[in-house]
Amino acid sequence: MGITQSGLPIDPVYGPASRDGWDPKVELGEPGEFPFTRGVYPSMYTGRPWTMRQYAGFGTAAESNERYHQLLAAGTTGLSVAFDLPTQMGYDSDHQLAQGEVGKVGVAIDTVEDMKILFDRIPLDQVSTSMTINSPASTLLLMYQLVAEGEGIPGTALNGTIQNDVLKEYISRGTYIYPPAASLRLTTDIFAYCAKEIPRWNTISISGYHMGEAGATPAQEIAFTLSNGIEYVRAAINAGMNVDDFAPRLAFFFVSRTTILEEIAKFRAARRIWARIMKDEFKATNPKSQMLRFHTQTAGVQLTAQQPEVNLVRVAIQGLAAVLGGTQSLHTNSFDEAIALPTEKAARLALRTQQVLAYETDVTATVDPFAGSYVVEAMTDELEAEILRLMGKVEDFGGAAKAIEVGFQKNEIETSAYDYALQIDKGERTVVGVNKFAIDVEEKYEPLRVDPAIGEQQVARLQAIRDSRNNADVTRALDSLKRAAESSENVMYPMKEALAAKASGGEVADALREVWGRYNPPDIF
């Protein structure tokens, strides 16, 4: 039991019985019990805080490794890897499309050798690692496993998450490679592989974050994310898997905005909807299959280059909303991210924001602090109704993949983004420092800059690996991967053999492109 500064007790859980004569209009339920509106665990943060992750990655693997050690020393409890754009798109650093992009928005990882450097002196059996990677998620996960095995750590000891959510790439982000059907096949192969080889790994982080960043409303963010989740579950079941064999390892990823009350209600509604879908539609009997566990990142799209220090306030508010909404892990953005990659100081301040929330406030003393609030309960119900309405429209198209093919979700989000931008331009919504409370002269800020020579260095490193490896072994392994892709064989096993032979990530992606082709989006809805 917590104690206030005045010496008064704080109960771990409050409910209708906590106040005499209170007759709530809704049945709140208990934390940790179906439908999990109040949280997926009975004790939530009263036992321990959420996992504090800081998304980081830039330049070379060695530079990112240095930042990871700085974050771990500062008290972060989980690593989160940002990959550069060529890596995300399945291109090696020496590809012509990679020119000028190597190491710019994340770390460049071409081969297992880069992955070894990235996690040098980090105990992979003790740290939880999240990797924001989608179309090539299988490749990066296998590289990570190979590095661990090289250190004598089995896959059964590894703990972490790959984002691996390709459907949202077609909707809002764009780092897709293969057509939707092939991407779903690869996703289900990962599910099956990890169930046997890396059982503690979260095989997918079904993401609404990027939809929010693209302009989705909170209702759209949850509706389209849960619709994608349904599509993944259906694909796995159609591939012959039992729902309770893979569903406990599903995770989600959402954005947290500055609108605290709506964000709290959004998270509560999302848990309730997903629990009922898994129980009623998919007949999941394991409570862990019904739980919507999620990571949250504060809203990068709401950060401003004008008066960037004000972003410290925004991030604190957004982080508070995520905590009050019951997130399982959290990344707080650095205040300078609207300008450039975060400096070491800015990244440390972002982590300190989480630590203040966890250790200096009283929001961790009780579960679901806003339960029973008239406004939050009403918003939760209203958001649930709107989310279900949008999910019904997706189902009318035949599910998420079919709706993606005609551009439905993308069109809805783009319309919302345009409307929101108009409201800001007209002054109907205030953005401090932009359309109100601006200053004439901004203070000079020195951002973190990535050395442009990194691209040349990474290309030279990649070429040296190609020169030193047995290229005949690589060719044989890639041919085996292509044969698996043409059949119903799980592609993860031959892919691992190719990577172990020092095939690059781009070569693996090219082998699959040769079989599955590349995706070209529709022009209009």
Q: Which amino acid is at 81?
A: V
**What does pTM read for this prediction?**
0.92
pLDDT tens per residue, the chain (525 residues)?
689 989 999 999 988 755 555 444 456 789 999 999 999 999 999 999 999 988 889 999 999 999 999 999 999 988 999 999 999 999 999 999 999 999 999 999 999 999 999 999 999 999 999 999 999 999 999 999 999 999 999 999 999 999 999 999 999 989 999 999 999 999 999 999 999 999 999 999 999 999 999 999 999 999 999 999 999 999 999 999 999 999 999 999 999 999 999 999 999 999 999 999 999 999 999 999 999 999 999 999 999 999 999 999 999 999 999 999 999 999 999 999 999 889 899 999 999 999 999 999 999 999 999 999 999 999 999 999 999 999 999 999 999 999 999 999 999 999 999 999 999 999 999 999 999 999 988 878 777 778 888 999 999 999 999 999 999 999 999 999 999 999 999 999 999 999 999 999 999 999 999 999 999 877 654
Q: What is the 3-state secondary structure (H, E, C) of 150-213?
A: HCCCCHHHCCEEECCCCHHHHHHHCCCCCCHHHHHHHHHHHHHHHHHHCCCEECEEEECHHHHH
For the chain, what are the domain ranges?
Answer: 2-40+74-405, 456-516
Is the distance from CB of 204 to CB of 247 less than 8 angstroms?
Answer: no
Task: Show Cβ contacts of residue 437 under 8 Å, excluding neighbours closer than 6 positions.
Answer: none
Q: How far is CA 412 from CA 112, 215, 216, 306, in A?
A: 40, 9, 8, 29
Return d(Cα 298, Cα 408) in angstroms, integer: 26
Helices (H), 198-308: 209-214, 218-238, 243-246, 260-276, 287-290
CATH of domain 2-40+74-405: 3.20.20.240
Structure tokens at 11: 């109960």
Measuring CA to CA, which residue among 523, 503, 475 is closest to residue 136? Answer: 503
- The secondary structure of 438-492 as a DSSP string is --SSPPP-------TTHHHHHHHHHHHHHHHS-HHHHHHHHHHHHHHHHSSS-TH
Q: Which residues of 229-263 are buried (b: 16+ CB within 10 A; e: fewer)?
A: bbbbbbbbeebebebbebbbbbbbbbbbbbbbebb
Where is 515: in which H helix or E strand?
helix 505-516
CA distances to 245, 338, 472, 480, 489 from 494, rounded to whole Å, are 23, 41, 15, 6, 9
* Alpha carbon distance 144, 476 (integer Å): 22
* Displacement of CA 369 from its chain's centroid (Å): 25
